[in-house]
Chain A
Amino acid sequence: MDWPKKNPSELDASEKKSFGKGVFRKCDGCSATLPVEALHASFEVCPECGQHHKLSAPRWRDLLLDDGRFEEWDAHLAPADPLNFSDGKSYRDRIASAQKSSHTKEAMVIGRGAIEGHAVAYGAFVFSFMGGSMGSVVGEKITRLFERASSERIPVILLQASGGARMQEGILSLMQMAKTVSALERFRATKIPFFSVLLHPTTGGVAASFALLGDVNIAEPNALIGFAGPRVIEQTIRQKLPEGFQRSEFLLTHGMIDRIVSRLDMRRELAMMMSHLSPKLERVSGPQA
């Protein structure tokens, strides 16, 4: 439920914080100075230390989907302001500025694509839109993703990156947790797999609903994943949290996720798992080598 105040634009990590006229960038992990093109080519993964920097939603589609092709569903859904909410700045204004800076109507994009020939229902949070927070539109789109995947009989791949429920829509945001999980529960009855891909960060109401209920939960290295944000926990227990707490490796050790997978191997791994769990479902083209 906590998200960073800064509202970074819908840009790759390599497009900002650059110096030397955007030619070089410093790695957040090992501080190596890297050419921006090199980082871009490696989908923002540091070639030196493997640090995963933020990757924009469109670039994720380029990385995962066959030819980057994507047929978007329900792009017209836009947020309303049911509570007439204001915290100094009105929710309407926040929406307007988030839409402007992230070039998208809401924090969730859903649609259809393919991964190594396996047709998939694909959804991804747009973290730069109000911290990927889940309000009515995000909840509705995820619900539609599961409903449509059921009727088209294709697996669901959902990329999580969210601070949690959106406070500006109050209790209706909490209700999205019930709505999406109910839809997931129906989808499960079809025996078609749901892959939950956990990116940095996945917390709050998104973590506590569908994000950890994948048939398979896969996390990127070093992603922050948890119910409560670290700051809330520190305030509650009045202790400093241990190093690596709530990171992917911590979740793997505690049995909450199946695998930690490098971004660069994600497409291959997803295809491999689909070949085991849903080999007979629709193929958009022949299996690729």
Chain B
Amino acid sequence: MAAFVLPFEKPVVELVTRVRELKKAAIESGPGSDRALEHELKRLEEKTGRLARELFATLTPWQKVQLSRHPNRPYTLDYIETMMTDFVELHGDRRFGDDPAIIGGLARFRGKSVVVVGHQKGRSTKEKVTRNFGQAHPEGNRKACRLYEIADRFGLPVITFVDTQGAYPGIGAEERGQSEAIGACIAAMARARVPIIATIIGEGGSGGALALGVANRVHVQEYGTYSVISPEGCASILWKDNSKADEAAASMKMTAPDLLRLNVVDKIIEEPAGGAHQDVAVASALVEAGIASALRDLETLNGEELAADRYTRFRKLGAFVA
């Protein structure tokens, strides 16, 4: 894939790329050929990681939003490919059509069968259009709903990957009941008697994200975001000026540390130096470890207890004066 570099990530990208090239050269010169070089490389790699982290520590919320939307960022299919086996994609909502903006099906995660559902953005221009930039129509959400029901019926855990700017606002979407489709997804997740783990791997935008987000454990990657509306949308409504998106991004408290503070997410999943797109294998291993540990935590709960655990989790969210 063509490397796309955001202005603020340039120094980090250069560092990471340089280390990667050195590493490649070292591997090509054969194992153990140069102990000193290997040692030096390891030192350099650690230093790069530290430096990258320092540079990224100063990112503004708006820059993090841009990272969450980075075109080279791994998408749902990349994660399925790297952490699961025997994936069988299931299609269609049995009502109207199949929506490529949401993919899902059966897969094996650490040897056990699961139902996996995720938003899927496209890589090429053509695929971006086919997948509607990961913005689901009602049929995508109804497919997700159907998969939750399959998981519930067959006692399979549900693993979701959230990555959407939001459900699609269009004529067809309204005609076919986008609102009801999202509501039905939330309801289906609420009542499922199986463990559900959601990971926000990019943008968690509004109701479209929540349709995959009513989980026992919700994780967010370090540079993932989650918000009630896109910063552009917020700015255009409240400031009447969508160029104030940076201000809106800061005001809405939508970055991973904010989300953890507000108890909206349970865990932040660390990303490799420079972000998930700099090393998909490492990023995927970290997401996988998070999901595996969450599933282990829930192992002892029966179906009723799992639904009750989800109820308690969401029941306490909110802030008011009583």
Instruction: Show the binding face of A for B, using Cβ within 8 Å.
Output: 1-2, 76-80, 82-83, 85-88, 135-137, 139-140, 143, 165-167, 169-179, 181-186, 204-205, 207-213, 225-228, 232-233, 236-237, 239, 241-242, 245-246, 250, 254-256
Known: A181-B190, A211-B179. A227 touches B237 (CB 8 A): no
Q: Are A80 and B207 in contact (CB under 8 A)?
A: no
| Complex interface: chain B residues within 8 A of A212 (CB) | 177, 179-180, 183
Select one of A165, A210, A227 contacting B173, CB under 8 A.
A227
Given A79-B321, A139-B318, A171-B227: A246 in contact with B174 (beta carbons within 8 A): yes
Which A residues are CB-close (under 8 A) to B237?
A: 1-2, 167
| Residue among B171, B182, B214, B319 making CB contact with A208, cutoff 8 Å | B182
Q: In the complex, A266 Cα to B182 Cα: how many Å? A: 27
Residues of B within 8 A of A85 (CB): 251-252
A–B pairs, 17, beta carbons within 8 Å: A1-B206, A2-B237, A78-B320, A87-B238, A87-B251, A136-B320, A167-B228, A173-B228, A174-B209, A178-B317, A185-B187, A208-B178, A209-B183, A212-B180, A228-B174, A254-B177, A255-B177
Which residue of chain B lies nearest to A141 when distances are taken between CB atoms in the complex? B320
Instruction: Say how far B230's CB is from chain A's closest CB, in angstroms.
Output: 10
Among B13-21, B275-283, B307-315, the stretch that binds chain A is B307-315
Output the residue of A181, A185, A204 with the most chain B CB within 10 A. Answer: A181
* B259 CB to nearest A CB, Å: 7
- Which residues of A have CB within 8 Å of B167? 208, 227
A80 touches B319 (CB 8 A): yes
Q: For residue B190, which residues in chain A have a CB less than 8 angstroms away from its CB?
A: 178, 181-182, 185
Name B321's contact: one of A80, A179, A181 (CB within 8 Å): A80
Bound together, the chains give a CA A211 to CA B178 distance in angstroms of 12
Cα–Cα, bound, A166→B234 (Å)? 10
Known A167-B237, A208-B179; judge A174-B186 contact (CB<8 A): no
How far, in angstroms, from A82 to B254 measured CA to CA in the complex? Answer: 13
Interface: B322 (CB within 8 A): yes
The closest CB in chain A to the CB of B184 belongs to A213
User: Contact: A171 with B254, CB < 8 Å?
Assistant: yes
Chain A, Cβ-Cβ closest to B235: A87
Q: Which residues of A contact B322 (CB under 8 A)?
A: 76-77
- In the bound complex, residues from chain B placing their C-beta under 8 Å from that of A205 are 206-207, 228
B194 sits at the interface (CB 8 A): no
Give the residues in chain B near A79, CB-CB below 8 Å: 320-321
User: Smallest CB-CB separation from B308: which chain A residue?
Assistant: A186
Chain B contact surface mostly: helix
B180 and A86 contact, CB distance less than 8 A: no
Q: Is the CB of B174 within 8 A of A245?
A: yes
Q: Which of A77, A171, A213 contacts B320 (CB 8 A)?
A: A77
> How many angstroms between the C-alpha atoms of A167 and B206 in the bound complex?
11
- A80 nearest in chain B by CB position: B319
Indicate if the CB atoms of A232 and B254 lie closer than 8 Å. no
Q: Is the CB of A1 within 8 A of B233?
A: yes
Instruction: Tell me, in angstroms, the Cα distance from A202 to B161 when the chains sit together.
Output: 29
Name B249-296 residues within 8 Å CB distance of A. 251-254, 258-259, 262, 264
Known contacts: A182-B315, A254-B176. The answer to whether A237 contacts B229 by CB under 8 A is no
Which residues from chain A contact B157 at a C-beta distance below 8 Å? Answer: none
The residue of chain A having its C-beta at the shortest distance from the C-beta of B188 within the complex is A185
Closest beta carbon of chain B to A187's beta carbon, Å: 11
Check B191 against A228 for contact (C-beta < 8 Å).
no
CB-based nearest B residue for A82: B319
In the complex, what's the smallest C-beta–C-beta distance from A218 to chain B, in angstroms? Answer: 15
C-alpha gap A136/B251 in the complex (Å): 17
Instruction: Name the contact of A227 in the complex, choosing from B169, B233, B259, B262 (C-beta under 8 A).
Output: B169
Which residues from B are CB-within-8-Å of A208? 167, 178-179, 182-183, 207
A171 touches B169 (CB 8 A): no
Q: Which residue of B lies closest to A237 (CB)?
A: B170
Q: How far is the CA of A78 from the CA of B319 in the complex (A)?
A: 9
A167–B183 CB distance below 8 A: no
Which chain A positions have C-beta within 8 A of B183? 181, 208-213
Q: How far is the CB of B75 from chain A (nearest CB, A)?
A: 22
Judge whether B12 is part of the interface by a CB distance below 8 angstroms.
no
| Min distance, Cβ B162 to any Cβ of chain A, angstroms | 12
B210 contacts the other chain (CB 8 A): yes
Report B-chain residues with C-beta under 8 Å of the C-beta of A78.
Answer: 320-321
Interface centre among A139, A177, A236 (most CB of B within 10 A): A177
Give the residue name and chain of the A residue nearest to B229 (CB): A1
Q: In the assembly, what is the distance between CA of A246 and CA of B217, in Å?
A: 36
Contact between B228 and A174, CB atoms less than 8 A apart:
yes
Q: How far is the CB of B170 from chain A (nearest CB, A)?
A: 6
Q: Is the CB of B318 within 8 A of A136?
A: yes
- Asked if residues A174 and B210 are in contact (CB atoms below 8 Å), the reply is yes
Check A233–B317 contact: CB distance below 8 A: no
Closest to B205 in A: A174
Beyond A171-B264, A177-B207, A233-B174, whether A182 also contacts B310 by CB under 8 A is yes
Contact A256-B177, Cβ < 8 Å, known A1-B233, A167-B234, A182-B314: yes
Instruction: Please state if B178 and A228 are interface contacts (CB–CB under 8 Å).
Output: yes
State which of A1, A179, A226, A242 has its C-beta within 8 Å of the C-beta of B318.
A179
B226: Cβ under 8 A from any A Cβ: yes
What is the 8 Å Cβ interface bit string for chain B, positions 131-170, against chain A (1 contact, 0 not)? 0000000000000000000000000000000000001111
